[in-house]
Amino acid sequence: MDDVQKLKNLSEQTTFEADGEPLVNASSHRETMRLSSPPPACFSPKEKDHAFTHPAQLPNGQKIILLKTLLSSACERDCFYCPFRAGRDFRRATFKPDEFAGLFSKLTDAKMAEGVFLSSGIAGGGIRTQDKLLATAEIMRKKYNYRGYLHLKIMPGAEKDQVYRAMQLADRVSVNLEAPNTERLARLAPHKIFLEELLQPLKWVEEIRKTVPAYKFWNGHWPSTVTQFVAGGSDESDLELLTTTSWLMKNVRLKRAYFPAFHPIRDTPLENKTAVDPMREHRLYQASFLLRDYGFDLEDLPFTHESNLPLHADPKQAWAQMNLIENPIEINNADKLHLIKIPGIGLKGAEAIINARRINKLRDLSSLKKLGVIAERAAPYLLLDGYKPATQLPLL
């Protein structure tokens, strides 16, 4: 297998790994690439059309073309949900660090990739595999002077000094917890150790942030940290997932949790398990953003008796139905934390309201619409200068 075939093989199989936000569909992205970038010499015309990469948005809002791939799809572990688990019959591929770094440099030169998310199957233990990922990142940064976005995966069992080195080289580091606690992880990955192998590296990242100044990192910033759960893979509840997510956000400054919905993979122990409704993934993202950005606590979220989020209801809207119908929020004097609790008002909308009302009182929904508010959604939960906008009747 040549390098391009290897990359094709490895990047095709990483669609389950999440980073950033998808922006446009892959076909229009490939069309753009065809029009704008000559392929490197090692890419045939057919290969240049292949979706090695994905449009993505970085934490700072920058839009880039991201390559998500593995250094190796060979793995000695046997996680029940994973297509790379040991013993599963498929064609595996492995890059040496200098091979991958050289190929990626060609991709960036041809403007076919502007960032990379690099993970790996485990071979020879987590420490040895982490060393290979670090060696690859070192070559990219030093030999090829790569200055773009790099998301490095921390391997289960990596050591603290390896985590530190990864932080020095990357813009983002991640450890996939896969499940919310030890008991649930045992149902998914019996040879991963939740506290020591997975949670501990996330704690180390935060310890390092607290003790090492940001200027010691490659671009003068500490890298952000994310994790990923296999939502529904261990029959865990949404409350369990969000309890762990909330703890991580408060205690180790987790930037984001990803919740890809479980879907069964042929020839794995979970191949007969039912796929999870993608709406569950969507509700978990909505709830995690409420915890991270909107001042919500776990107890504010509308969990069912089974400790799950209702699939049919937006969690912010469900909270507002229970709490704001009888106590609507006055748009003209509420602080930002209250404004963003209203469905249809986001962080930017709340700031726009605060700026606009310094000049004039806001008295109708059309004024809110002009400020970026989804006025119809917000209307049942607010007052405009003492009046409910739907009826425009005075409250008193």
- Does 77 bind ligand SF4 (CB under 6 A)? Our answer is yes
Residue 84 interacts with ligand SF4 (CB under 6 A)?
yes
Coil vs helix vs strand at 306: coil
Closer by beta carbon to ligand SF4, 112 or else 189:
189
Contact window for ligand SF4 (CB under 6 A) among 22-30, 74-82, 222-230, 262-270: 74-82
Nearer to ligand SF4, 79 or 362 (CB): 79
Phi-psi region of 295 (alpha: psi -120 to 50; beta: other; left: phi over 0): left
Minimum separation from the CB atom of position 21 to ligand SF4 (A)? 23
Applying CB under 6 A, does 265 fall inside the site for ligand SF4? Answer: no
Rounded to 10 degrees, the C-alpha dihedral 378/380/384/386 comes to: -150
**Rounded distance, CA 326 to CA 312, Å?**
22
Site for ligand SF4 in 188-217 (CB under 6 A): 189
The reply to whether 184 sits near ligand SF4 by the rule CB under 6 A is: no
> Shortest Cβ distance from residue 115 to ligand SF4 (Å)?
22
Centre a 10 Å sphere on the Cβ of residue 284 and count the other Cβ atoms it contains: 25
Beta carbons of 37 and 110 less than 8 angstroms apart: yes
- Given 82, 93, 199, 276, the residue binding ligand SF4 (CB under 6 A): 82
Q: Which is nearer to ligand SF4, 129 or 246 (CB)?
A: 129
- Helix, strand, coil % over all residues of the chain, rounded to 5: 40, 10, 45
**Helices 278-293/238-251 angle, 10° precision:** 30
R_g of the chain, CA atoms, integer Å: 23
Asked if 122 touches ligand SF4 (CB under 6 A), the answer is yes
**Residue 229 interacts with ligand SF4 (CB under 6 A): yes or no:** no
How many C-beta neighbours within 10 Å does residue 314 have?
19
Stretch that binds ligand SF4, among 75-83, 253-261, 282-290, 326-334 (CB under 6 A): 75-83
85 binds ligand SF4 (CB under 6 A): yes
Site membership for ligand SF4, residue 104 (CB under 6 A)? no
Does position 177 interact with ligand SF4 (CB under 6 A)? The reply is: no
From 115, 111, 89, 99, select the one nearest 1 (Cα to Cα). Answer: 99
Of 31-39, 78-86, 306-314, 386-394: span binding ligand SF4 (CB under 6 A): 78-86
Helix ranges (H only) for 37-159 are 45-48, 97-109, 126-138
The binding site for ligand SF4 (CB under 6 A) comprises: 75, 77, 79, 82, 84-85, 121-122, 189
